[in-house]
Amino acid sequence: MPKRMSREELAEKIVDFCSEWRTAEEIAGFIQRNKRYLSYEVLPKMGNFLELKYPQVKRHPDQKYRSRTIHGKRPET
């Protein structure tokens, strides 16, 4: 995975990877980015694309993320 990519490319890769529940650690490893950067800069801006396993507790220790689907389709980027 290239070191520099656009936010759109990054979001697309994350959405594709999160077809099942994934932890921030798994996502960070997949996109080769730091978990802290991912958790504070990237994931909070992806609310339209990812659903939280524990939406009432954003920093839940077992938090996982999954791609949102709308009638079987992913939202447009």
Decide if 73 is inside a domain: no
22 three-class SS: strand
Domain count, the chain: 1
Provide the whole-model pTM: 0.82
Residue carrying the six token digits 């529940």: 21
Q: Residue type at 57?
A: V
Residue 1 lies in a domain: no
Domain hosting residue 63, numbered range: 7-67
Distance between CA 23 and CA 36 in Å, rounded? 12
Tell me what pLDDT residue 74 has.
Answer: 54
DSSP-derived 3-state class of residue 15: helix
Q: Is 22 inside any structural domain? A: yes
Q: Tens digit of pLDDT per residue, the chain (77 long)?
A: 556 888 899 999 999 999 999 999 999 999 999 999 999 999 999 989 999 999 999 889 999 999 987 545 555 54
CB 32 within 8 A of CB 45: no
3-state secondary structure of 65: strand
